[in-house]
Amino acid sequence: MKVILTQDVRGQGKKGEMLEVSDGYARNYLLPRNLAMKATADNMNALKLKEKAKAAQIEKEKAAAKETAEKLTGIIVTLKAKAGAAGKLYGAVTNMEISEALAEQHGIEIEKNKIVMAEPIKTFGNYEVKCKLGHEISGTINLLVIEG
């Protein structure tokens, strides 16, 4: 019997693959557990439509990530931080602070988990902070930490 997998099945294949399996395996294991569906013409067409929609969604996400990366070039995010006598900050600048400052100052929304810092920022100065925007597209945030 030909089936289309709706989920990854160990030892059989990945989601979306069409397989030829024994009738008993399909009727007794794959179909009752919703791991696969029969490979009818309607199901195959529905699967192709889902794949096209998914590809279109990925293209939209890539375009949005490129647009955000372009917006990040040339802007400077300013953060005010408190420090001790030696110029060391009382705490490190966090991803959340950078994300909130970026949204507040420039209206660009980037989730805090997409901002990647190589090492914690604990002193005043200029920094370049990478952010992974998705689909192998990254941008750079120019950060200025000042005394406040």
**pLDDT per position as a tens digit, 80-113:** 998 887 878 888 999 999 999 999 999 999 999 9
What is the number of other CB atoms lying within 10 angstroms of the CB of residue 5?
21
CA distances from 53 to 16, 39, 47, 62 (A): 14, 20, 10, 14
- Tell me, yes or no, if the pTM score tops 0.85: no
**pLDDT per position as a tens digit, 112-133:** 999 999 899 999 999 999 999 9
Tell which residue, 67, 115, 122, has the closest CA to residue 93: 122
Domains contained in the chain, number: 2
Pair of tokens at residue 75:
């802007």
CATH number at residue 23: 3.40.5.10
* Residues 128, 115 contacting (CB under 8 angstroms): no
Same domain? For 55 and 38 the reply is: yes
Same domain? For 98 and 73 the reply is: yes
Name the 3-class secondary structure at 33. Answer: coil
Owning domain of residue 135: 67-147
Mean pLDDT of 65-87: 89
Same domain? For 30 and 73 the reply is: no
CA distances from 85 to 81, 89, 97, 127, 146 (A): 13, 9, 23, 21, 14
Last residue of a domain, one of 60, 78, 106: 60
Same domain? For 91 and 122 the reply is: yes
C-alpha neighbours within 13 Å on the C-beta side of residue 123: 5
C-alpha span between 93 and 80 (Å, rounded): 10
CATH number at residue 88: 3.10.430.100
**pLDDT per position as a tens digit, 13-56:** 999 899 999 999 999 999 999 999 999 999 999 888 988 999 99
Same domain? For 122 and 53 the reply is: no
